[in-house]
Amino acid sequence: MSFYVTTAISYVNGVPHLGHAYEAIGTDVLARHRRLRGEDVFFLTGTDEHGEPVADAARAEGVEPQVLADRNAARFQDMVAALEISNDFFIRTTDERHAVRVQQVLQRVHDRGYTYKGLYEGWYCPRCADFKVENEILDGNRCPIHEIELTREQEENWFFRLSAFQEPLERLFAEQPDFVMPQHHYNEARAFIGSGLQDLSLTRARMRWGVVVPWDPRHVFYVWFDALLNYYTALWYAREGEDLTPRYWPANVHVIGKDILKFHTVFWPAMLMAAGIECPRHVFVHGFLLGSDGRKMSKSLGNVLDPFEVLERYGTDALRFYLMRDVVWGADGAVGMDGVRARYEGELANEYGNLASRTINMIERYCEGTVPTVATDPQLRAEFAALPARIDELLERVELSAALEEIWVRVRRLNRYVEERAPWTLARDPERAGELAMVLASLAEGLRAVSVALTAYMPSKTAVLLDALGASAHTEREFGEHGFGGRVSAIPPLFPKTAA
């Protein structure tokens, strides 16, 4: 079974921020989870390098757009590596191979009669590189996203017959009620379609920084069409000598932020239909990270959480865990250093880290360093039995925080189990040696099972822990009937308290 998952591609007019990190981490959790289930995964991320925002930023700096794109694309690649994102490819839309494929697809849209030449006039936001329709414009002709004043623009260009897809889109939404998740964003997209679709400007005559229109080379494609197509073009050339399109298309999940809903849930499927290409299965929309005071993050308000500062103090896994745990996936959420510290100390160090060191220490002390291969506790086994299926079900709906909570309930359960069964008391009584072996085999097995479940969220620390448990080769997700017999080795605290 194949699973193709993508993030939005980031504009290279700026450098990466925590919002980009958040989206990449959430998508990475999905990709890693599917690989763990043995699925054939392709995970794509990358950068959006054409269009007015990039051309304007380059002009302001007095450099060629490609120079700016190269510099900032490298920053995004560095961020992806620092966060241990397991993407299979990093697409850059200034790649010539992407351009060739964009031209092929949009030529098909043209040949099938979905374009025409016309005069476009409208209110335009240069930051969005988008014309705004009347009902989204703020008072004073301002952009609903950037709140800057819009400019009145007119030019002759090629149009895409979006209006021809009113009914097909309504049908898509009716047939695939989970096409857009969560539900309130599905409703929002459906309402936008219901309000009546206007044709879209497909090309730009004044711009040069884009993919050239093959049937009219004086124009370049409007950046959003070039950008959306990245999800499709990458498969064509990501692997040398192999076209991955038949293997992975249609995409299973596009993960995006709520500001780009309309592009992904209305324009994108319409464009694919026009080209005769199958539509993606799901678009998942996450919320926005806000400053610690609940307001939009902004340097001037001093409420920004810097991802690199968190990485330095607490490490990659702690940042990944914190974001997935504290900001309910799908809603907006405030983030700040106090929250990171509280999760780190309270949950990672005291709950998970402590469970790990206690378990390993007791196996060393009472079982000569080897996990006993005896039957595990049937009660604990029963409490863990539903975990893999429950995680699958939640992650199917991209409920990343809810799935993490399911795992954490088990981490807490294991800590309670240690207190309830008090292995140090059992160890004093030779007649209870069998019970002691059962308790320690169960703890080791429980710790192994939660750690396997957590690998999608915290790939590094869980790998260290599984190795210390002698369980690196035991990646099965179920809580087993017997201890796995690993040889444990003592490790320094997984989440050292001194980091704060």
Give the residue numbers marked as catalytic.
17, 20, 125, 128, 143, 146, 296, 299
For ligand ME8, the binding residue among 41, 79, 213, 260 (CB under 6 A) is 260
SS (H, E, C) 152-201: EEEEEEEEECHHHHHHHHHHHHHHCCCCEECHHHHHHHHHHHHCCCCCEE
- DSSP codes, 208-264: -SSPBPTT-TT-EE-HHHHHHTHHHHHHHHSBTTB--HHHHPSPSEEEEEGGGHHII
Residue nearest to ligand ME8 (CB): 257
- Residue 11 within binding range of ligand ME8, rule CB under 6 A: yes
CB nearer to ligand ME8: pick between 10 and 303: 10
Cis peptide before 182 (omega within 30 of 0): yes
Smallest distance, Å, CB 70 to ligand ME8?
Answer: 17
Q: Are strands 282-286 and 180-181 parallel, antiparallel or unpaired?
A: parallel
Handedness of CA 174, 179, 183, 188 (dihedral sign): negative
CB nearer to ligand ME8: pick between 188 and 406: 188
Question: How far is Cα 142 from Cα 134, in angstroms, rounded to an integer?
Answer: 11
- Residue 227 within binding range of ligand ME8, rule CB under 6 A: yes
Span of 194-202, 223-231, 312-320, 463-471 interacting with ligand ME8 by CB under 6 A: 223-231
- Residue 49 within binding range of ligand ME8, rule CB under 6 A: no
- Burial of residue 324 (number of CB atoms within 10 Å: 0-12, 13-18, 19+): buried
Residue 116 corresponds to which amino acid?
Y
Give the list of residues 6+ apart from residue 228 with CB closer than 8 angstroms, or none: 263, 264, 267, 268, 271
Smallest distance, Å, CB 335 to ligand ME8?
Answer: 9
Question: How far is Cα 25 from Cα 30, in angstroms, rounded to an integer?
Answer: 9
- Residue 10 within binding range of ligand ME8, rule CB under 6 A: yes
For ligand ME8, the binding residue among 4, 5, 19, 211 (CB under 6 A) is 19
CB nearer to ligand ME8: pick between 262 and 397: 262
- Residue 20 within binding range of ligand ME8, rule CB under 6 A: yes
- Residue 347 within binding range of ligand ME8, rule CB under 6 A: no
Binding mask 266-305 for ligand ME8 (x = CB under 6 A): ----------------------xx----------------
CB nearer to ligand ME8: pick between 9 and 180: 9
**Which residues bind to ligand ME8, rule: CB under 6 A?**
8-11, 19-20, 22-23, 48, 227-228, 230, 256-257, 259-260, 288-289
